[in-house]
Structure 1
Amino acid sequence: MTKQTALQTLIGLAQDDVDAATQKLGRVQRERGEVEKQLEALITYRDEYHARFTESARSGMAAGNVRNFQAFIDTLDAAIEQQRRLLEQATERVEAAKPEWQRSKQKLGSYEVLQTRHDDVQARKEARREQRDADEHAARVLRTRTSQHP
């Protein structure tokens, strides 16, 4: 296996790692977004429910209804707190996935730099070989001409 082939293999493996890390980061970001939307929906519902209750309570309300309202608000508050904890956990998963993605991108970039340097070295060698071949050809032509015309 040549160095170039080995390097290309490493680049392919590193690209696979980048792809996997990108997918993971995207997935945890989407999950976080969904958790955040659910939290916002719960807060909005609680606020709307509280506003409706407050409006209803102005015209008078039975004590049982007030207790039911308070129990339901307490349930909503507990659900909101649980959703906030889920949002914190989802945010931590996103923050944990970012360095993994960055490391895989950096590794791929390093291999690509090595490949570019290798390609540049090969191009310079090829250019020198072509120049040498052209110089040898020109020298032969010149020798041929001088030997034919004394």
Structure 2
Amino acid sequence: MASKAQLETLMDLARRETDDAAKRLGVALRAVDDAKQKHVMLVNFREEYVKRFEAAQAAGITPMAYRNFVAFIEKLETAIKGQTDMIHHAEHRSGQEKAAWQASERKRMSYSTLNDRADAAALKLENKRDQKLMDEFAARAAYYKR
């Protein structure tokens, strides 16, 4: 079994690894939220622009203005698709970071369990020694009492 100092070193390293993984997971989750917010913003802007386009059509617009509206809406659609891809990428990355955090947390917990077992074994050994000393003391006291 590893010594107490070795276990504590391993536990400290695992704790640091878990903390780093948790920070990376937090960054990845914020990236997902940011990507979703940008997507919502783009979709809302497209809806507003389509309403303006429809209002302009009802009022009558030139063919050049019509082409500009259509071209801009197509660019917005492309941006929305790109942002959707960014969301998928960010979600995939956050899934990877979550798995890494879970793995490092399992590792930290296993070292903690090993440390707890070592503490329990040391306590059991100490109790056994105490009991042996008490038995010897009682035996001597009984011997000298006679």
Fold in common (TM above 0.5): yes
- SS of 1:78 mapped into structure 2: helix
Distance in 2 between the 1:69 and 1:8 partners?
66
1:16 counterpart residue number: 16
Matched with 2:39 is 39
- Measure how far apart 1:48 and its partner are: 1.8
Alignment of 1:55-94 (within 5 A): 55-94=55-94
State the aligned residue count.
Answer: 145
Deviation at 1:70, TM superposition (A): 1.0
Output the TM-score relative to the length of structure 1: 0.87
* Alignment correspondent of 1:135: 135
- Measured against aligned partners, the alpha-carbon deviations of 1:69-118 in whole angstroms (never above 9, x if no partner) come to 11211121111111112222212211222222121111111111111111
Aligned counterparts of 1:58 and 1:125: Cα–Cα separation in 2: 90
Aligned to 1:95: 95
- Unaligned regions of 5+ residues in structure 2, if any? none
* Corresponding letter in the other structure for 2:77: D
> By how many angstroms is 1:24 displaced?
0.9
Looking at CA atoms only, which structure, 1 or 2, has the larger radius of gyration?
Answer: 1
Distance between the aligned counterparts of 1:140 and 1:45, measured in 2?
Answer: 93
**Long gaps (5+) in structure 1:** none
Over the matched positions of the two proteins, sequence identity in percent amounts to 32
Query: 2:109 matched to which residue of 1?
Result: 109
Q: How far apart in 2 are the matches of 1:127 and 1:48?
A: 77
